[in-house]
Structure 1
């Protein structure tokens, strides 16, 4: 049984430690491989800073060519983000998310259809929770305080993050696609301060382990993989 983990830096295993980005060897696909090494092979196809546009552009090479049984799609955090340098330069004008929500949902649909065409099974993962306070602090440090007013008028990044996540949940129901709700699992399993790294977006080792545990549990429960 082969599983491709397809997504952005949260799939790749990026964390923010002591003021810099680093890639953790113990990321969610590697934990998933440890949890069930005898039952399936896990391939990490996460790329830093990817969004759903970019996933569509590489689905043939990184997913279809692997002939997986299951494809776990984890994308959206960069889609609902903004070009903060442009916001800082013009905080009084309107700005759109990097991938507007209508295109984001259409991209996910196309990914699902393409994967299903090849007789692989797509699995949607919800967006993990974030820490907006730590994220805002990093943004202010990087781009200056001029973005703060603009962010407040938009309802905060958690507004967009939650909106994209809710739309993803609705799409999973609409298309009857298996969904793994890592967002709820992480919110209910412990202190998010232990799971989210210093930038407020990426995860710690413990965060990735908790994410992977929910993925493994859901797979065992919902698909034809034996846990014994």
Structure 2
């Protein structure tokens, strides 16, 4: 009798499993940023490494980086490149150009505007039920002990992101702390580049791996 009941229930169980499989959607993760993220989707880039480290059946990984972008550029293209894609989680990695371009082109982002636009990004994403992970900008030059020209300004903007993370109760990858700490321990010749970056800003193989390993626990 029990065997007959089991046989009768079997088709129902199969249908339930099939229905569950058909309706299962992988977690959609978008990496939103500048040229570091744009390069991150290439083989060996941090987005590519994360994608390979995650189960493709459980995660859909999308890179949305554009070279030269600052925080207000992200705000302007957020609707098309993020919100319309309906992600579950967004990793925001921005801030280097907001500081760097002050020196290079005098087109950086003033500190109050940086905070204003960054908070607006968070607000719009959270209003759509999207989980948000913040990242502090890592380095503009890899010399130790604050010897790079933009270190003080970059520290200021990184501190702003830490405060935004605390204010909004958001997880954060403190890349500024991680990268400068690594450079302090692994840059005996006090080189400006070549430790975690190719040019003082953009990531080399070790830099991409470090970033991927830092972000993975915040995504899972």
Q: TM-score range by the shorter chain?
A: 0.7 to 0.9
Matched, 1:118 2:121: no
Partner residue, 1:195 = 196
- Deviations 1:159-184 (CA, angstroms, capped at 9, x unpaired): 11111001111111111122122333
Matched, 1:61 2:105: no
Q: 5+ unaligned residues in a row in structure 2: which ranges?
A: 1-26, 188-193
Equivalent residues of 1:130, 1:196 under 8 A apart: no
Distance 1:63 1:24 in 2: 20
Change (3 A) 1:36 1:85: closer
Matched, 1:30 2:48: yes
RMSD of aligned residue pairs (Cα, Å): 2.5
| Structure 1 ranges of 4+ moved more than 6 A | none
Partner residue, 2:116 = 106
Change (3 A) 1:85 1:174: closer
Q: May I ask how many residue pairs the two structures share in their alignment?
A: 183
- Deviations 1:26-53 (CA, angstroms, capped at 9, x unpaired): 2111111111134311100000000011
Distance 2:115 2:103 in 1: 23
Equivalent residues of 1:4, 1:63 under 8 A apart: yes
Partner residue, 2:206 = 206
Equivalent residues of 2:46, 2:208 under 8 A apart: yes
- Deviations 1:41-74 (CA, angstroms, capped at 9, x unpaired): 1100000000011100000000001100000000
Determine which structure has more spread, i.e. the larger CA radius of gyration. 2
Matched, 1:158 2:151: yes
Q: TM-score, normalised by structure 1?
A: 0.72
Partner residue, 1:146 = none
Q: 5+ unaligned residues in a row in structure 1: which ranges?
A: 15-22, 87-95, 134-151, 221-228
Equivalent residues of 1:24, 1:205 under 8 A apart: no
Deviation at 1:201, TM superposition (A): 1.1
Q: TM-score, normalised by structure 2?
A: 0.75
